[in-house]
A and B are shown apart, each in its own frame.
Chain A
Amino acid sequence: MILPLFKRELRSCLLPTAIIAAVTVLYAGVIIGMYDPELGESLALMRDAMPELFAAFGMADQGTTLLEFVVNYLHGFLLVVLPLVLAAVLASRLVVRHIERGSIAYLLAQPVGRIRLMVSQAAVLLFCLVLLAAVLTVFELACAQAMFPGELAVADLVAVNSATFCMWVFLSGACWAGACTLPSVSAARWAGVSVCTLFVLVQMLSGVGEELSWLGDITPLALLDPLGAAGGQPGALAGAAVLGISGAALFAAGTAVFARRDLSV
């Protein structure tokens, strides 16, 4: 960690984090607000009318509790895509933009070592994701408490969001690895987010029909089972751990390659 750089980069990353956090909590608030028996019935009618469309966005089952409702409508799609956008923006800002503009020359000209430099930059990205998760969790709890007191257990929501955070680590690791390793600036910027978007699309396809349901098991996103994690199911906890560890491995691999690569700046 390089504290002066960490502080500076964190300041520059707070705005995109705040924007994504605002959009996320807005959706979270709306969805928690939708947990209403009467509206739930109309949603069920809509879902019955367009089952493939709802399934494609990971909303196949409304669930019976507020936690199941939130996981179904929020975690299946929005809490994959919005953090992915944030991870892609931050990886680009923290690595690719410095290479593209040449300002990496100034960072590399300081006596800090490339691994330490990249660990510091990665720490900014992860810190922003932790902030997002913390803001989201606190907001969800506050909304649930205000609208449906006693309906949402704190421990369950923390478990759900922790498992989801492990997936964010995986997604951001993919963006990081691309940003650190690829020599072309545009490839470095888009490779990670493109691969992750492909995973999301494949998962969406898997929900639209029985014959494509097998697709749901072939992407790393299948390892995420937030409700299973909240229930303490070993398979769900292991899946979340695999996602988190794979993400950390991608961060480490990207950083290691960056430390050895030529930088023509």
Chain B
Amino acid sequence: MIANGAAPAIGVRGLTKDYGRGRGVFDVSLEVAAGEVLGFLGPNGAGKTVTMRHPMGFVKPQRGTVEVLGHDCFRERPAVQARLGYLPGESSCMREMTARAFLDLMAGMRGMRDRSRMLELVDMFGLDLRARIGGMSKGNRQKVAIVAAFMARPDVLLLDEPTSGLDPLMQERFLDLVAQERARGAAILLSSHIFEEVGRACDRVAFIRAGRVAMTCTMDEVRSMRGRGYTVEFASAQERSRWELAHGAEPAAGDARGIELLDVRDVNGLIGELSAYDVAAVTSREQTLEELFLHLYEGADPSRQG
């Protein structure tokens, strides 16, 4: 939901692109406001990249509309691209060029004279501009793509699997950069299948499954949905089997005494129930986003749209 009813910077409404045999996206609607980061989560092949090709104007919608800053993304591509930064899912910079030649070419095509932001980003990510892109590691090629996407200070950013190949330090720097851009007022659509990355970078998140948006909600709502997970270690394997039988599960073979309980909401109920068993230890942890999302995928309520 866009705050204050303002026009969204990215508006995808009822987008359908059917590639046959269930592939494509169907009736996808997304909105991203200025100064907002929308995480776009889903498993491989769910339709994240297909959706992102539409705001880029690479493909024409079969049905629905896709607008960036009020411009139709297919018909008014140059007007859209002038204010948009794009980080493709596959790092496919021109391999025979050096990083400097490639970035200069991209800047030249944009008519971008001021290279100060480009150099700032090069410093931030420790990129060697003299290296040939074809000889770089995947992570370094990704850095080139990040600089190309952010160097023009765009109003809208489309980031497809942005931290792919980056080491943990560079992932941190990238998340800092996303926070900076959000503070500057950029609208950011960030596609990922890395749950923690979305959890840290985004204000809202949309879940896509089999080409359809299954759910859109704020990160606060996601956090409130997160239950806790518990590991219960019984005094003996027999006690564990007794618990499993009482809960309709087939007792697992072997001497293991522990069980995992995910998404526990009624903690008092659990403690009361465990009092009837000989328990050696109970440990608890917050449910990971991955566990939450997988749980949502398995039993999602598609009617819930944020």
Contact = CB atoms under 8 A, between A and B. Distances in A.
Contacts of A4: 104-105, 108-109
Range of interface residues on A (Cβ < 8 Å): 20 to 34
A105 B60 contact: no
B77 A113 contact: yes
Interface stretch (A209-217, A227-235, A257-265): A257-265
A47 interface: no
B94 A110 contact: no
Interface in B71-110: 77-82, 84-86, 88, 90, 92-97, 101, 104-106, 108-110
B92 A102 contact: yes
Contact of A108 (B57, B79, B148): B57
Interface in B46-68: 50, 53, 56-60
Given A263-B59, A265-B58, A105 B109 contact: no
A111 B110 contact: yes
A5 B105 contact: yes
A112 B60 CA distance: 18
A4 B56 CA distance: 22
Contacts of B95: 101
A162 to B, nearest CB: 34
Interface string A77-119: 0000000000000000000000001110111111111100000
A138 interface: no
Contacts of A262: 58-60
A263 B92 CA distance: 15
A5 B93 contact: no
A2 interface: yes
B86 A105 contact: yes
Contacts of B53: 263-265
A260 B88 CA distance: 21
Given A8-B101, A105-B86, A110 B92 contact: no
A12 interface: yes
A263 B54 CA distance: 10
B105 A109 contact: no
A109 B84 contact: yes
Contacts of A265: 53, 58, 88, 92
Nearest to A107: B109
B270 to A, nearest CB: 49
B106 A106 contact: yes
Given A105-B86, A262-B60, A263-B59, A111 B79 contact: yes
B186 to A, nearest CB: 16
A12 B96 contact: yes
A263 B106 CA distance: 20
Contacts of B77: 108, 113-114
Nearest to B95: A101
18 contacts: A5-B105, A8-B97, A101-B92, A102-B92, A103-B92, A103-B94, A105-B56, A105-B58, A108-B58, A108-B77, A109-B81, A109-B85, A110-B81, A110-B106, A111-B79, A111-B81, A112-B81, A265-B88
Given A109-B86, A111-B110, 8 more contacts: A2-B109, A3-B108, A12-B96, A110-B109, A111-B79, A111-B82, A113-B78, A264-B59
In the A-B complex, the 8 residue pairs with the smallest Cβ-Cβ separation, listed nearest first, are: A102-B92, A4-B108, A111-B82, A110-B109, A111-B81, A262-B59, A109-B86, A111-B78
